[in-house]
Amino acid sequence: MPTITYVLKDGSRKEVASASGKTLMEVAIANNVRGIDAECGGCCSCATCHVYIDASWADRMPAPDEMEDELLEGVAAERQPASRLSCQIVVTDALDGLVVRVPEKQG
């Protein structure tokens, strides 16, 4: 079972185990990860599940599709090269140990 580490706004870390097939957003919501609002419920329409992928993982992530890329243009926190919408990243065994940072603000 892959383990994902969410780095919260205050710098604290929350490690959670996830079954493969769930999105990073679903895992965060199910484990009360503060700062991932997910107002649209994972439909890729609100960008309130914005996260920053740790640099050591960036090259292992698929590129965002056109819709995600467009939504990332309007995120509340600064868009960075490692910005992603957590609703668009499906957890697999290959993501065991992934570290993502929650931005200062959403929405």
Structure tokens at 29: 């919501």
Predicted TM-score (pTM) above 0.85? yes
Question: pLDDT tens digit string along 10-33?
Answer: 999 999 999 999 999 999 999 999
Average pLDDT over residues 77-100: 96
Question: pLDDT tens digit string along 89-105?
Answer: 999 999 999 999 999 99
Domain assignments of the chain as residue spans, ordered by start: 3-101
Give the residue carrying structure tokens 């503060």.
Answer: 34
Strand 3-7, strand 50-53: pairing: unpaired
Could you tell me which CATH number the domain at 3-101 has?
3.10.20.30
The one-character DSSP state at 14 is E
Task: List, as one string, the DSSP characters of 7-52.
Answer: EPTTS-EEEEE--TT-BHHHHHHHTT-TT---TTSSSSSS-TTEEE
Give the residue carrying structure tokens 């609100």.
Answer: 46
